[in-house]
Amino acid sequence: MEKILRIDMGADGGPKVKEEPLGEYAGLGGRGLTSAIVSKEVPPLCHPLGPENKFVIAPGLLSGTLAAMSGRISVGCKSPLTGGIKEANAGGQPAQVLARLGYAAIVLEGKPKGDDIYKIVINKDGVQVIADNSLKMLPNYDLIDRMKSEYGDNIACISIGPAGEMKMCAASVACTDMELRPTRHAGRGGVGAVMGSKGVKVIVLDDSGLPMRTPKDPDKFKEANKLFVQGLQQHAVTGQALPAYGTNVLTNIINEVGGYPTYNFKEGQFKGASKISGETEAELEKQRGGVPTHGCHRGCVIRCSGIYHDKDGKYLTKQPEYETVWAHGGNCGIDDMDAIARMDFLDDNYGLDTIEMGATIAVAMEAGLAKFGDAEAAIRLIEEVGKGTYLGRILGNGAEFTGRAFGLERIPVVKGQALPAYDPRAVHGIGVTYATSPMGADHTAGYAVAQNVLKVGGDVDPLKPEGQIELSRNLQIATAAIDSTGMCLFIAFAILDQPETFQALMDMLSAFSGEAMTADDFMDLGKKILTMERDFNKRAGFTSKHDRLPRFFKTEPLPPHNITFQVKDEDLDKVFNW
Amino acid sequence: MLRNEKDKSRKGLSLVISKRLISVFSPLLQHGFSVITTEGTNIKEFLCYHLGFSPEYLNERIQSILLNGKPVDNPDRATLEDGSTLALSASMPGLVGATLRRESILASFRSTITHKEKNKTKDGRPARVTLKLFNLVMKESGPHLLKQGIIVEKDELIGLLKNQPSSFWEGCKEIYLNGENIIPDELLEKIESEGEWIFLQVISPEES
Ligand code: SF4
């Protein structure tokens, strides 16, 4: 992983491929690398779909090694949805394969002059960029079937569906899973539209004949990995709850606490929650011969994913995750698990972010385009997006665009990006993160990390409200660092509670690079990334006014607790004081 | 197959089913069922002395306790009253999942909804509490509580039983309604004439 692959899609005479050493980007991976390249090379005021924007794909620092859980891949660019910097990441196989092919990043630059669409094929023999207009407007599942028939089973693909080709702001980038299905998505921020603007439909990766990446100190690395895996397996969340029920295990508890956004963020509890909970979903999967415990890439030991079958026992989609079940379920008043699973499939197939689409449909329902609870109508709306009808083009551009088109006041977005599945009026701390993250409202931009790391900014009393600014800062810093390693964020629970598991991760990073990594170095890396991202946003015209939740969170009390978001603006402005 | 005469003559519905079918009742456990206790009992007493959870299980496994939708940090100091709803969960993923844990380092994130105890005393009056069990707590404790018997909403129970496939009824070895041994075909009709709430006991011979 010592080189960067740059492809100028707008070069005279057709796309030009160039390889270069990492140079000043050495030591960075995943989000650290995508954000460094975007912040340094992309003019902040450029049009996100224009030739000056760059589309960067980077596996994590540990991807392609034997390290467990190291299969996350980051996708970065200037976002057409937020207008700021974006990093979205996904699981699946491509991170491991791309890293073994030796690339720390692929950078798509420029913009093709005609309207040809391209596939990029990368294997041990080199890189080919091939125009293939027969792929135009293929949905992801059909596209991957085509790639399989052309290039065999030992590939991993990164692709866009019709939504990306239509350059919609809710378009995602799909990554294939272990079964070679396009189910893992870098969803947020319209990254699929940027890949579409570069004219690239699919990147086919094949690491046949290539070895694993080897650490500088293999014995120390192996030992640290062993301890790391043990730590994950012995923890109640990573060893039991996530494997048994997946992330949707959160539905019941978030609903019970009154923080489950329902009917487009009007209420905090959904009556039908237990019908779409992770417990119910896992039971259904077992009954129908699906799989409730499954990894999204080789080397995952938590296995929070699964396979969802329809009533006839046939594959329908991967196990819909908590955010998806909420977005298409409770937020739209829908308590039919099969309908939600169908929407998950449609989103994956058209290449859409499930959170943005669910939030958009709820906004459309509030605008009167369908009734809350009408699952068939919700499915029809997604189909409009896939077909690219005029209505579909409005919906496919996300919740804010749709809300404006229909004159709505309650539009749950920050920096143009839809809020995920936790109402900040019930859990104020997450509102701090939603408001201030450079990415727009993002639930992953502030995760649970080691207690000692959380306290590096000074000891805070966790029971005092003032503590949340400090905590949000440290969580965002640590998350930015984890996002650079290629590690799935779900490792966070084990390293929150078990210092020895956190230490094992540090030891793995040190043994791999040959340079000692301490908790302080880790946090410095996170700070460096956030500083670059915020600097980009500042140059793109963002001010502290953009670090705010929509006004209705301060004025409309949320039942059942009937509270509003109470964190003061001046406190939000302190999050990045370090 | 019911263990004793008391089980057989009990008011309400008693089912003897094979162990693999017990999870069929998980929607009732998630949705909430009623338990009668004493006004002013604290959560720890209720769970350990009344329902039979071990103190270790309470400390180690039950990481999130929600009383009327509010996270409780100290179960010794939060008391129940008539109409309270208590939900129990193992530790959960996600930032918010971690925030909702007892005495979480992230507790400030939810300080405005954290349960704050008002000084209450035990006054001996009966209190009907709705108990909800989630995730691993449901899986591990549900069979035990179903064996002891729980009070459920009749409509919820009918809704659940109505949707069961024939394989469920084949695995249903004995059915007693108010002490009378009945066959599956009679059950739904007879249950309709019961009151709004019904006592439900589910026993698996493999477990007893
Ligand atoms: S824990 Fe879940 S999201 Fe993370 S790598 Fe495993 S299956 Fe993928």
> How much is the ipTM here?
0.90
pLDDT at A319 exceeding the cut of 90: yes
User: How far away is chain A from the Cα of B15, in angstroms, using its nearest Cα?
Assistant: 21
**Residue A515 CB coordination number (10 Å):** 11
- Which residue type does A316 have? L
In this structure, what token pair is assigned to residue A95? 């991170």
User: How far away is chain A from the Cα of B153, in angstroms, using its nearest Cα?
Assistant: 15
Contacts of A197 (CB under 8 A, 6+ apart): A48, A49, A50, A53, A55, A111, A167
Total tally of structural domains belonging to chain B: 1
pLDDT of residue A444: 63
Q: A74: which strand partners? A: A58, A89
In whole angstroms, give the CA distance from residue B29 to residue B134: 8
Give the atom of ligand 1 at the shortest distance from the alpha carbon of A488.
4
> If pLDDT is split at 50, 70 and 90, which confidence band does A445 have?
low
Is residue A105 a contact partner of residue A51, using CB atoms and an 8 Å limit?
no
Is residue A411 a contact partner of residue A363, using CB atoms and an 8 Å limit?
yes
Q: Give me the mean pLDDT over the A449-474 stretch.
A: 56
Write out residues 263-302 of A within 8 Å (CB-CB) of B.
Answer: 269, 274-275, 277-280, 283
In whole angstroms, give the CA distance from residue A221 to residue A235: 21
pLDDT of residue A472: 80
φ, ψ dihedrals at A333, nearest 5°:
70, 25
pLDDT of residue A449: 43
**Which pLDDT tens digit goes with each residue over A542-555?**
999 999 999 999 99
Question: Which residue out of A234, A238, A255, A257 would a mutagenesis test of the B interface target, given it has the greatest number of B Cβ atoms within 10 Å?
Answer: A257
Domain region containing B76: 5-207
Residue with CA nearest ligand 1 atom 4: A488
pLDDT of residue A448: 42
Write out residues 7-36 of B within 8 Å (CB-CB) of A.
Answer: 23, 26-27, 30-31
User: Of B27, B71, B93, which is closest to A241 when you measure between CB atoms?
Assistant: B93
A182–B contact, CB cutoff 8 A: no
Is residue A190 a contact partner of residue A168, using CB atoms and an 8 Å limit?
yes
| pLDDT tens, N- to C-terminus, chain B (208 residues) | 555 555 555 689 999 999 889 999 999 999 999 999 999 999 999 999 999 999 999 999 999 999 999 999 999 999 999 999 999 999 888 778 888 889 887 788 888 888 988 766 777 899 999 999 999 999 999 999 999 999 999 999 999 999 888 889 988 999 999 999 999 888 988 999 889 999 999 998 876 4
Q: Give me the mean pLDDT over the A371-391 stretch.
A: 98
The structural domains of chain A, ordered by start, are 3-205 (3.60.9.10), 248-418 (1.10.569.10), 428-572 (1.10.599.10)
In whole angstroms, give the CA distance from residue B191 to residue B208: 26
Q: Do A464 and B111 touch (CB under 8 A)?
A: yes
A249–B contact, CB cutoff 8 A: yes
The residue of chain B with its CA nearest to that of A447 is B95
Q: DSSP string covering A453-492, please? A: HHGGG----TTSTTHHHHHHHHHHHHHHHHHHHT--GGGH
Whole-number mean pLDDT of chain A? 93
Q: Do B91 and A461 touch (CB under 8 A)?
A: no
> What length is written for chain A?
578
User: How far away is chain B from the Cα of A39, in angstroms, using its nearest Cα?
Assistant: 28
Q: Rounded to the nearest whole angstrom, what is the distance from the C-alpha of residue A491 to the centroid of ligand 1?
A: 9
Q: DSSP string covering B144-190, please? A: HHHHH-EEEEHHHHHHHHHT--HHHHHTEEEEEETTEE--HHHHHHH
In whole angstroms, give the CA distance from residue B37 to residue A441: 44
**Which pLDDT tens digit goes with each residue over A385-441?**
999 999 999 999 999 999 999 999 999 999 999 999 999 999 888 888 899 988 988
The residue of chain B with its CA nearest to that of A278 is B135
B97–A contact, CB cutoff 8 A: yes
pLDDT of residue B7: 58
Query: Which among B40, B110, B75 is positioned nearest to A256, based on CA atoms?
Result: B110
Q: How many CA atoms lie within 13 A of A348 on its CB side?
A: 25
In whole angstroms, give the CA distance from residue A505 to residue A62: 10
Q: Rounded to the nearest whole angstrom, what is the distance from the C-alpha of residue A112 to the centroid of ligand 1?
A: 35
Write out residues 104-133 of A within 8 Å (CB-CB) of B.
Answer: none
Q: Do B94 and A250 touch (CB under 8 A)?
A: yes
Q: Which residues of A touch B87 (CB under 8 A)?
A: 252-253, 256
Q: Which residues of A touch B94 (CB under 8 A)?
A: 247, 250, 322, 443, 447-448
User: How far away is chain B from the Cα of A393, in angstroms, using its nearest Cα?
Assistant: 33
pLDDT of residue A499: 86
In this structure, what token pair is assigned to residue A155? 């590939």
Q: Do B109 and A466 touch (CB under 8 A)?
A: no
To test the pocket of ligand 1, the residue of A293, A296, A323 to mutate (highest count of ligand atoms within 8 Å of its CB) is A296
pLDDT at A460 exceeding the cut of 60: no
**Residue A522 CB coordination number (10 Å):** 24
Write out residues 365-424 of A within 8 Å (CB-CB) of B.
Answer: 422
Q: Give me the mean pLDDT over the A168-194 stretch.
A: 98
pLDDT of residue A388: 98
Q: Is the peptide bond before A112 cis (omega within 30 degrees of 0)?
A: no
Write out residues 104-133 of B within 8 Å (CB-CB) of A.
Answer: 104-114, 132
Q: Which residues of A touch B113 (CB under 8 A)?
A: 257-258, 426-427, 561, 563
pTM of the full predicted structure?
0.94
In whole angstroms, give the CA distance from residue A162 to residue A351: 7
pLDDT of residue A456: 37
Residue A490 Cβ contacting ligand 1 at under 6 Å: yes
- Helix (H, G, I), strand (E, B), or coil: what is residue A143? helix
Q: Which of A59-73, A126-140, A430-444 has the lowest mean pLDDT?
A: A430-444
pLDDT of residue A209: 94
Residue A296 Cβ contacting ligand 1 at under 6 Å: yes
pLDDT of residue A457: 39
pLDDT of residue A324: 98
pLDDT of residue B24: 92
Query: Which among A499, A516, A498 is positioned nearest to A508, based on CA atoms?
Result: A516
